[in-house]
A = this chain, B = another copy of it.
């Protein structure tokens, strides 16, 4: 597979790594960049992440094989509206957003029948670092990418996006958009929300300096994701609000249940809870064979 021209809109960690991975795989002729911030695009060009900066959507989409949207999900709708007038019938679009129901809705509204060319996706890879400086060609290597195809997509469109991600070294799977948003509300969006909340609570307190003075490795790992990109996570929380609220409420119920054990000094109950958690987590880790091995 060889794409002559790929457009990356939003050349940060995800968009930049996608461009670098395709280049490393020899799967692309030219990568053209677009984005909000000229300085970021210039930096991306200087690093060789993109070959050139598009002057506008007309320029970007001319003869493009593929467009990758890699901006915070809150911007996807307006970007699709901007590009729609210049979209030919031969360009395929995909995205890297962490929520998929809202992206599918935005695609249908902005593109109409051309939404058949849009195959929503979500690479399960990232880092608490953001920006093109953090981009690397192996970010998606042996990581999962979940596609949530629209009913309108043809198998050829889906297969193209699948192959592109495989060229980046990723393991591709498919999920219904609603299932995707429910699952990731639990395993990703909730932990981010919880970690942000803990650090925020500590940051507000009168004894904040003392707390951070004694915080160590456990705290560091638990809160790693609280160093994630605030705007990106604001958009994810808003876009997946209803599913996240369900998960947050379930977790608060669990905390109240656990609080009853603690307040009642229920040694057996606490140990059973901790045992179940450790056993389940260790079984999960044992089963985590990197794709392809």
Binding site for B on A (CB under 8 A): 124-126, 143-144, 146, 179, 183-184, 186-188, 190-204, 207-208, 210-212, 214-231, 233-234, 237-238, 241, 244-245, 248-252, 254-256, 258-259, 262-263, 265, 267, 270-271, 273-278, 280-282, 284-285, 287
On whether the beta carbons of B254 and A201 are closer than 8 Å, the reply is yes
Give A189 Cβ to nearest chain B Cβ, in Å: 10
Name the residue of chain B whose CB is nearest to the CB of A272: B230
Contact flag A278-B219 (CB < 8 Å), given A194-B194, A214-B124, A250-B201? no
> Does the CB pair A273–B187 fall under 8 Å?
no
**What separation, in Å, do the CA atoms of A198 and B262 have in the docked complex?**
16
Q: Is there contact, CB below 8 Å, between B259 and A248? A: yes
Cα A221 to Cα B220 with chains together (Å): 9
Q: Which residues of chain B have C-beta atoms less than 8 A from A231's C-beta? A: 271
Contact assessment for A188 and B216 in the assembled complex, using a CB-CB cutoff below 8 Å: yes
| Cβ-neighbour of A199 out of B143, B241, B277 (below 8 A) | B277
Task: Report the bound CA distance from A32 to B48 in whole Å.
Answer: 61
23 interchain pairs, CB-CB under 8 A: A124-B214, A124-B216, A125-B216, A126-B218, A179-B210, A183-B211, A184-B214, A188-B215, A188-B216, A191-B218, A197-B273, A199-B278, A203-B276, A212-B280, A220-B285, A223-B281, A226-B278, A227-B285, A228-B274, A230-B274, A233-B274, A234-B270, A248-B262
Chain B residues in 8 Å Cβ range of A237: 262, 270
A191 touching B214, Cβ below 8 Å: no
- Known: A226-B277, A231-B271. Is A187-B199 also a contact (CB below 8 A)? no
Cβ–Cβ < 8 Å partners of A212 in chain B: 187, 280, 284, 287
Known: A214-B144, A278-B228. A222 touches B191 (CB 8 A): yes
Contact between B183 and A214, CB atoms less than 8 A apart: yes
State how many angstroms separate the Cβ of A96 from the closest Cβ of chain B: 14
Chain B residue at minimum C-beta to C-beta distance from A214: B183
A218 touches which one: B146, B210, B225, B263 (CB < 8 A)? B225
Cα distance A238–B263 in the bound complex, in angstroms: 9
Q: Which of A207, A233, A255, A274 has the most CB of B within 10 A?
A: A274
Closest chain B residue to A274, Cβ basis: B230
Q: Give the shortest distance, in Å, between A173 (CB) and chain B (any CB).
A: 9
The 8 Å CB contact of A262, one of B184, B244, B273, is: B244
